[in-house]
Amino acid sequence: MKNILIFGAGINQITLIKACNDLGFNSIVIDPSDNPPGKQFAKHYFKVAPDDYELTKEVAIKMNIDGIVTGQMENPLKIMSKLANEMGYIFNSPEIIQRSTNKYLMKQAFLQNNVACANGLYFSSKEELNESKLNDFSYPLILKPVDSHSSRGVYRVLSYNEILNYLDETISFSREGAFLIEEFIDGPEFSVESVTYNGKTEVIQITEKIITPFPNVVELGHIQPAELTDKQKEQIKVEVIKAINALGINNTVSHTELKITEKGPIIIEIGARLGGDFISSFLTKSSCGVDLDKASVQVCLGIEPNLNHSVSKYVYVKYFTLPPKSIVDDIIENKLINDYSDLIFSYIFVKKGDTIKSVSHSALRSGVVIVSAESKSEVIEKAKRYSELIIETIKLK
């Protein structure tokens, strides 16, 4: 029996752990927490700090690991690539992971390979910035950390003063203390889930994204399938595959973010891992039948994944928010919510005693519902109704 080392046992990794088990493999799970939600589903569990390479390697050797995988997060990718490089596992090389997690290196790879992307400037520190360097750009612009994720520190800015206002926060989310300022691409935003196996990429599903009002760009919703013309779908497919090849991504599930403009799709960035926000788990599997968690496990072992579409549904991942500065006084269990067959998943992120903050990045959202229906209008209406039912169980003061 094959042994799979899974990095992470949070709520977003539960379906990955279960998929590994369902395939008949041993799930060996590591996570820095004592009792994370996914621990109960793991065949073997080890508490390992995120930056503890030696202990990670020790677990891999002790458990005779055959393949490594993670789900819906970027933090472990570098340590995974180092481990794979040393132990011979199927995974992207350290160089590819560096290009895929550093937005400046990613942009350079795109530009060198004629991938449509936003023009921008890289600043290694706050001291490098001065207004004259932006003379060739027009506002609005996008300010973002060079190596963060989950919309942390990302702002649309309308002036140089706004850049200065948000800059310290943006830099605080960068491990390097570096940031990008790039042109703002106007247009609807989408994401694309793809699987690359032995150098061949297949686009699985395209997702319509709903984001917060500016200046933040936090994702509040994901709907599959995106309603696009056949021409738009083909343009997206061509550009996404070109971008994946530019980065050198191979033998992995990937998540691409882009915008549709009058000139066609413009690539924002690519994650060389399963897409977050339950996109690669509940959303894609429920909308088209492709289990990307299983595909990820199969690919890490060199097994060709099953990517056949078997269902066709509209599915909506809807995040809800609560009034900022309010305090969670109590959360009342509502067992009736489980009686709705079209409610695929729901979760409340806040806890009793929490003070609600404005949603400046993904970790500050209050909860989520995932709903299926036969039409886009129906799935939007259902998600609104179910999120309201759950919000009623959260008592604020």
Encode pLDDT of 157-203 as tens digits.
Answer: 999 999 999 999 999 999 889 999 999 999 999 999 999 999 999 99
Spatial distance between the Cα atoms of 151 and 165, rounded to a whole number of angstroms? 17
For residues 278 and 368, the answer to whether their CB atoms sit within 8 Å is yes
Maximum Cα–Cα distance for the chain, whole Å?
61
Reply yes or no on whether the pLDDT at 324 is more than 80: yes
C-alpha triplet 20, 21, 25: angle, nearest 5°: 75
**Mean pLDDT value across residues 381-391:** 95
- Residue in the structure block whose two tokens are 């995106």: 226
Q: Which residues contact 294 (CB under 8 A, 6 or more apart)?
A: 19, 22, 23, 305, 306
**HSE-up (13 A, CA, CB side) for residue 62:** 11
Say if strands 26-31 and 3-7 run parallel, antiparallel, or are unpaired.
parallel
Instruction: Check pLDDT > 70 for residue 396.
Output: yes
d(CA 4, CA 13): 13
CATH C-level class of 192-300: alpha beta
What is the CB neighbour count within 10 angstroms for residue 346? 20
DSSP bridge pairs for 116: none
pLDDT in tens, 53-78: 999 999 999 999 999 999 878 889 99
DSSP state of 43: S
pLDDT per residue over 11-66, tens digit each?
A: 999 999 999 999 999 999 999 999 999 999 999 999 999 999 999 999 999 999 99
In whole angstroms, how far apart are CA 218 and each of 65, 70, 128, 169, 363?
37, 23, 27, 15, 10
Nearest Cα residue to 272 out of 98, 128, 131, 79: 98
pLDDT tens profile 241-255: 999 999 999 999 999
Close Cβ partners of 36 (under 8 Å, ≥ 6 residues apart): 9, 10
Residue for token digits 């990794």?
Answer: 13
215: preceding bond cis by omega (within 30 degrees): yes
For 277, the token pair is 């926000």
Confidence at residue 295, expressed as pLDDT on a 0 to 100 scale = 98
Per-residue pLDDT band for 323 (boundaries 50, 70, 90) equals very high
Q: Report the topology of domain 314-396.
A: D-amino Acid Aminotransferase; Chain A, domain 1 (3.30.470)
Contact 80, 91 (CB under 8 A): yes
Angstrom distance (rounded) from CA 365 to CA 39: 24
Q: Could you give the CA distance from residue 226 to residue 208 in angstroms, rounded to a whole number?
A: 5
Give this prediction's pTM: 0.93
Same fold, 192-300 and 314-396: yes
Nearest residue to 28 (alpha-carbon basis) of 52, 50, 51, 1 = 1
Is the confidence at residue 216, as pLDDT, over 90?
no
How many residues are listed for the chain in this entry?
397
Averaged confidence pLDDT in the chain: 95
Arch. (CATH architecture) of 3-91: 3-Layer(aba) Sandwich (3.40)
Helices (H) and strands (E) in the chain, counts: 10, 18
pLDDT at 336 over 70: no
Instruction: Sketch the domain layout of the chain as residue ranges.
Output: 3-91, 119-183, 192-300, 314-396
The CATH code belonging to domain 119-183 is: 3.30.1490.20
Can you list the alpha helix ranges (DSSP code H) found in the chain?
A: 14-22, 53-62, 77-87, 94-101, 103-112, 160-172, 230-247, 284-288, 292-300, 376-391
